[in-house]
């Protein structure tokens, strides 16, 4: 029993050290809570589905605060058509981009459909593969949304 009592201060010091280490890590992150990170996956050439995705992204950002949200919408397959300059969703996509929502086009789909970056709404980011982008975001802890 005596050795157990002598080890209590050591256990308490180790526990406090662990707590302090986590607190310092939080301080190193700028004293801010972690941002919400959402990645939306849109693969339909359907203005209504895009409206749902854009409405959800903008409403989420508005409700948690622009500074506390990192939101990305990834278009693959037929969903890429809504990112073209002349699409029915162009003005809403521009609105999302203006509100710091990252809109991403799948480079694989672009190659397969012969779409170039010049065909896309200004500000849309192109990645090598949309599925890879989504998988990378999920591996980094982002929440996956499929509207």
Q: What is the pLDDT of residues 71-90, one digit of tens each?
A: 999 999 999 999 999 999 99
> What would the CATH number be for the domain defined by 34-145?
3.40.1260.10
Whole-prediction pTM: 0.77
* Rounded Cα distance, 91 and 115, in Å: 19
Work out the end-to-end distance of the chain between its first and last CA atoms, rounded to an integer number of angstroms. 60
* Residue-wise pLDDT tens digits, 82-138: 999 999 999 999 999 999 999 999 999 999 999 999 999 999 999 999 999 999 999
């Amino acid at each position: 029993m005596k050795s157990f009592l002598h080890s209590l201060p050591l256990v308490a010091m180790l526990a406090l050290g662990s707590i302090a280490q986590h607190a310092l890590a939080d301080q190193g992150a700028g004293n801010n809570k972690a941002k919400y990170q959402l990645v939306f996956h849109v693969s339909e050439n359907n203005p209504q589905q895009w409206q749902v995705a854009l409405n959800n992204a903008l409403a989420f950002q508005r409700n948690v605060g622009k500074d506390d949200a990192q939101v990305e919408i990834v278009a693959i397959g037929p969903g890429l058509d809504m990112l073209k300059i002349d699409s029915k969703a162009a003005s809403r996509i521009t609105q999302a981009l203006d509100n710091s929502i990252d809109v991403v086009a799948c480079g694989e789909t672009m190659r397969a459909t012969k779409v170039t970056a010049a065909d896309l709404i200004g500000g849309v980011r192109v990645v090598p593969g949309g599925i890879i982008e989504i998988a990378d975001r999920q591996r980094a802890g982002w929440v996956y949304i499929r509207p």
